Structure 1
């Protein structure tokens, strides 16, 4: 299987088999120096906007490589979209959720500053945290050879979630909910999965989100960690949406 390298600055639209694609900069350096890609090997190059070019490397340099395209895959953005609203969590639990969710096909990610979040992104740390998640997303896209790169929004407080998710159907993962996620039927709207932190969603937040239109749903009889709940729910939705 081809390994995917991303270069969001490339214009891959309109390419035909036989065209030569030039990869340069840090991504090419990583391919040539770290991954030891050599002429004759088969890899893929994507733009993160729906196009992935597969082909054989024809030449390499310290910070560049050339690929002759033999297969060009163009994918429209998935619809309806799935957004993961992941509460900030201690340690690397939120990062594990972001990584797995990306590999499973999430389309966008919103970091959520929940009331019970132990981790806090404030001041300069807010953008640093967002960039960290964006890097994790990018690497997960490359690993899973996805054609679309999910955006990571700025950290959002509870008061801003309804606005940030305007037009989406909010599914609030709550272990005590009466309705199972497996019973939810897609209605054409984009979907937003809201996952709380280690201590769960605070009652006042639960009330506020439900008042804004969120639907509490449960995954099953067991209570999953915040690092597991979102990816598990995405797997369920992938089946419901016919992605799997």
Structure 2
């Protein structure tokens, strides 16, 4: 069960030590009826943008939970931003991927309509799919007690990724690549010889990237990398790579 609940306007209400903060709506209902929170228990509230307050529950109602604040924590966003570009996949494999990647440290996720994606979003499905991903990411961030809730980007095309590759360090998971993810970062991955650029990790669908997609991304500056000798499913490749990058960046 989650030990973090979200109130988007937390920063705008009194939230210093000694203040009482209310949780209402769906978040309060979840705390009261799903988590079965009781008076005297400890919990945390966050705004999803770095502010988290902790405290003791003083009142529990079906649609209203009150906590007395005894701690306030503000967390800066990471110096190097990790974005997972996840190709749409059949079943719930893409959803499993973004859920685990959020728990493991992805700072943003972007749905990608790849050439070989079996699942297709079009028309009303685009908005519905993006909202579904936002819900999954939000709940995963709460489960992991993350002070920053990852952003969910709009459905991207390969042309969109080409543009993104010119503005960041893009790593494309490709089983046939000669470079290993464990070798990253190298000196050329640093901007101006000092700071690392934001990292965009691209994961293809069940059938992998097409040769045309891989060539276009490489031409734009992306680097193909492999995880190891095994070929992982699209639902596990991204989270595994995010975990490896978290170690490389010193987050873990």
Which TM-score applies when normalising by structure 2? 0.93
Aligned partner of 1:210 among 210, 218, 221? 218
Shift of 1:164: 4.3
SS of equivalent to 1:199: coil
SS of equivalent to 1:68: strand
Instruction: Summarize deviations over 1:118-159 as a string: whole Å, max 9, x none.
Output: 000101101100111111101101111000010111111101
SS of equivalent to 1:11: helix
Distance 2:237 2:96 in 1: 11
Whether 1:193 and 2:193 are equivalent positions in the alignment is: no
Whether 1:231 and 2:244 are equivalent positions in the alignment is: no
Asked if structure 2 preserves the Cα contact closer than 8 Å seen for 1:172 and 1:193, the reply is yes
1:242 aligns with 250
Shift of 1:29: 1.3
Distance 1:94 1:2 in 2: 22
Shift of 1:45: 0.6
2:26 aligns with 26
Shift of 1:73: 1.6
Greater Cα offset, 90-99 or 179-188: 179-188
Task: Map 1:146-157 to 2 at 5 A.
Answer: 146-157=146-157
Which runs of 5 or more residues in structure 2 are unaligned? 191-195
Whether 1:171 and 2:179 are equivalent positions in the alignment is: no
SS of equivalent to 1:167: coil
Whether 1:112 and 2:112 are equivalent positions in the alignment is: yes
Asked if structure 2 preserves the Cα contact closer than 8 Å seen for 1:12 and 1:51, the reply is no
Shift of 1:67: 0.6
Distance 2:35 2:171 in 1: 40
Greater Cα offset, 173-182 or 24-33: 24-33
Tell me the number of residue pairs that the alignment of Structure 1 and Structure 2 aligns. Answer: 244
Shift of 1:31: 0.8
Distance 1:96 1:203 in 2: 26
Instruction: Summarize deviations over 1:184-224 as a string: whole Å, max 9, x none.
Output: 11521000000000001000000011111100011001111
Shift of 1:160: 1.1
C-alpha RMSD of matched pairs (Å): 1.6
1:62 aligns with 62
Structure 2 CA distance for partners of 1:2 and 1:149, relative to 1, 3 Å = closer
Asked if structure 2 preserves the Cα contact closer than 8 Å seen for 1:169 and 1:191, the reply is yes
Shift of 1:33: 2.0
Which TM-score applies when normalising by structure 1? 0.96
Distance 1:53 1:124 in 2: 38
